[in-house]
Structure 1
């Protein structure tokens, strides 16, 4: 389920923001309560409790002046606990924009909020974190459903495609060209005639090699080296 928390001490704004989010996600074909959930909080303490009770993977829309609490402090405290959430600030105060960088927000929106801008940010996060979170393939009589995060690299070998995964390997009969058009370009890169690598698992990228967090070394060919470096730098920025 795709999950969103909205934190703002203005209850009227909470209702308006929840309506915008719901309308955006419904337009994508999702059903509230089945495909997505929206929780609204006018106080910081219950919001933090919700995130700390194991509900990780949220998109958090957070006011900077959150009642008598600073929203930056709330986000910093949650980051220190290493909870997994994405963050968008929504505020009337532009003065905090540079201070917000330490809490790694996706964006800093000023009120009155441009609804199309907010909807666009939500759609982008939705596709990255939920809609595009898996790849679905048919392998003979078997249908594969593989989470992108589980894929370390994809290798073409002896007319077969081998997915190097967290827990072993899977084989498929397609081509790297097909996969390169299917896998999301923000984290997967064609780095060799025989390899696609997932930047999410790259710990070090040096000349003609990518070292992954499972200690596998993936080759980068001369042909793909420059575009691979450029794509990796964009990945790090985001």
Structure 2
């Protein structure tokens, strides 16, 4: 399902952009979802546990600029489609440092927004989305694979580290860790470099002879016997991604 996030600190403009977006989606993507945010921090907090495919961002906000917000989003996802919407033409060149898909001027033209959304939707591959449902002490939780940095098997429970640093723990497993992570490993981004870990290769900052250093600062060891195979898989993933 296509998911869109809109962030603008001006209530009227946020409402207008949301209305135009929903009008486009009603015709072309009726099952899509739209979430609106009036503060960048609220959007970044949501990104810790949710995944959005398309971001419509105001460029000029008093608390955090759209450019800074875009950079934060880009660190979380290289696949995100970012569309800046602003009153200022002068920021266009700076905006391209975060590789946005489009740059629209206010007041937003419905046709221009529709064209930008159509292009963004073409680039989104919702079909590859993977989710895992886990049982925690608070009940069942469904996690998007996009939001998972890694998971670790510790004393018969699995600890998931999410983008943004949040950790989610399962109840005691009745089966093996290998069986638990089988659905996750169906996603080409994930690899099991060690008996007690699974890692999202899209969240890797560096691979050394000892293991993966992740973007969150977490270190995940690589089993010595598996290092050659893990390194080859990681190189294939990065080359394929690029």
Provide the TM-score with structure 1 as the length reference.
0.51
- Aligned counterpart, 1:61: 56
Deviations 1:87-109 (A, max 9, x none): 32369xx997654232x245226
* Alpha-carbon shift at residue 75 of structure 1 (Å): 1.6
Contact 1:151 1:164 survives alignment (8 Å): no
Aligned ranges 1:82-97 → 2 under 5 Å: 87-89=82-84
- Aligned counterpart, 1:75: 66
- Aligned counterpart, 2:24: 20
| 1:185 paired to 2:188 | yes
Contact 1:20 1:119 survives alignment (8 Å): no
- Aligned counterpart, 1:221: 227
| 1:163 paired to 2:163 | no
* Alpha-carbon shift at residue 143 of structure 1 (Å): 7.3
- Aligned counterpart, 1:47: none
Superposed CA RMSD in Å reads 5.3
- Aligned counterpart, 1:153: 151
Aligned ranges 1:12-51 → 2 under 5 Å: 15-21=19-25, 23=27, 26-28=30-32, 36-38=34-36, 50-51=38-39
Deviations 1:185-209 (A, max 9, x none): 34x2344687531236544312462
Instruction: Check 1:52–1:144 CA distance in 2 against 1; reply closer, same or farther (3 A cut).
Output: closer
**Aligned residue pairs, count:** 196
Provide the TM-score with structure 2 as the length reference.
0.51
Instruction: Check 1:214–1:63 CA distance in 2 against 1; reply closer, same or farther (3 A cut).
Output: closer
Partner of 1:27: helix, strand, or coil? coil
Unaligned residue ranges in structure 2 (runs of 5+): 48-53, 105-110, 161-166
